[in-house]
Amino acid sequence: MSKIICLANQKGGVAKSTTAINMAAFLGLKDYKVLVIDFDPQGNASSFLGVNIDEPDLKTSGNWITGESEFKETVIETKFKNLFIIPSNDILKQAEIKIESDRIQSLRYLERKLTEIKNDFEVIIIDTLPSFGTLFINALVASDYVIIPAKLETGSLFGVKNLIDNILKIESNFHSLEILGLLGTFYRAGVKECDKSFDELVAAFGDKVFDAKINLTSKIAEAAGFGEPVAYYDTRNKGYEDYNSFVDEVIERLKIAKPVTACETVSQSK
């Protein structure tokens, strides 16, 4: 059965999408079969994996969640090893309005959809949007684990505490949701603000904070601009080492030591 992990932080620009796709790429390279579900109408995770989200015929997470399209019509097999994506774009905003009209089940649409594919992937990574609402809650409700990227700067702890309050609300209304870990991002060596912010995270959350920190490096953003994870773009970059170490910690925490050997699925031809 898949391990379902969402990347969440209601604060914008903390590297949720960047972490989603780079984590997925390294898991794929380490022989795990991975699906990224882009659940943000901005479609950044899709663009970062080279999907043209403006293509008129593209079927996306918005079509899938409302049942307009089948899974096999929305999933794309990327050129990256073991890595599949259900892309997203503006259609997800329309889908949100539709599912909100279902007053009883509106928060469980993604969870229900995932039961159809739970055995097809070893890890499913959901990228979320930076706001609290129906889509965000759907992602939390559908997940087993949350990874919280936190930008290493002054004030980041406040946003994280807010999110944790919301996770606790999900737990009291739905099911347990394990915080797999907090990941410090945009680290700048030698900058006191970054070290102080990391120390604050550790003081508040102890060993839930991943040892790996993601350095600020232009190659990570550059790779995303070219539609590629850093693992495929520049293997000598600090970002490569950082995400590689982070993913090793993720594998250890998930206790998924045995990689897959076979990799088959149906996909949109792109």
Residues that bind Mg ion (CB under 5 A): 16-17, 44
- Count Cβ atoms below 10 Å from residue 250 Cβ, excluding itself: 24
CA distances from 198 to 126, 151, 157, 167, 189 (A): 25, 9, 9, 21, 12
Per-residue binder mask for ligand ATP (CB under 6 A), 164-203, x = binder: ---------------------xx-----------------
Q: Which is nearer to Mg ion, 17 or 69 (CB)?
A: 17
Interaction between residue 228 and ligand ATP (CB under 6 A): no
CA distances from 205 to 177, 184, 231 (A): 16, 12, 29
Residue 197 binds which of ligand ATP, Mg ion, none (CB < 5-8 A, kind-dependent): none
- Shortest Cβ 249–Mg ion spacing (Å): 21
Q: Which amino acid is at 138?
A: N
Q: Which is nearer to ligand ATP, 28 or 184 (CB)?
A: 184
116-135 binders of ligand ATP (CB under 6 A): 130
CA distances from 214 to 103, 198, 236 (A): 40, 11, 15
Strand partners, 237: none
Please identify which residue in 2, 8, 17, 26 interacts with ligand ATP, judged by CB under 6 A. 17
d(CA 196, CA 153): 8
Interface with ligand ATP by CB under 6 A: which residues? 12-18, 40, 42, 44, 130, 185-186, 214, 216-217, 220-221, 224, 239
